[in-house]
Amino acid sequence: MINLKYMTRPLMVDAEIFRPGMESGIYKHWVEGREPWDSYEAEDPYIMINYRKVFLRYGDWIVTYPKGRKEVMTDSEFNNKFKKITDEVDRKLSSIFDLSEK
């Protein structure tokens, strides 16, 4: 058996942390508690991705890939997968690759 090693290609994405006002809508629903006085109405923000509601929590990242695909990640998932590009690195990459939107 041959042991092959793989790595992901370098990928530049746009990402921002969710904050109020970025959602597509608010899903309101009633949450039943153990006792009647523990019940309350909850409001969960969501964005639409591929015609589906993806619920968000404060601190989640909304990642947009180069071809427009979007994904929601927790802070730990995002930090494990991506590293921030500094302005200097961005200038170097821009000089090597054409990073402009087409």
DSSP calls for 33-100: -SSGGG-EEEEEEEEEETTEEEE--TT-EEEE-TTS-EEEE-HHHHHHH--PPPHHHHHHHHHHS--S
Q: What does the pLDDT average to over 90-97?
A: 65
Q: Which residue has the higher pLDDT, 6 or 61?
A: 61
- pLDDT attached to residue 39: 87
- pLDDT attached to residue 25: 93
Tokens of 84: 């921030």
Confidence of residue 90 (pLDDT cuts 50, 70, 90): low
- pLDDT attached to residue 91: 67
Where is 28: in which H helix or E strand? strand 25-31
Q: How far is CA 78 from CA 6, 27, 33, 59, in A?
A: 20, 25, 33, 11
Condensed to tens digits (0 to 9), the pLDDT of residues 25-70 reads 999 988 888 887 888 898 999 999 999 999 999 999 999 998 899 9
Per-domain residue ranges of the chain: 14-95
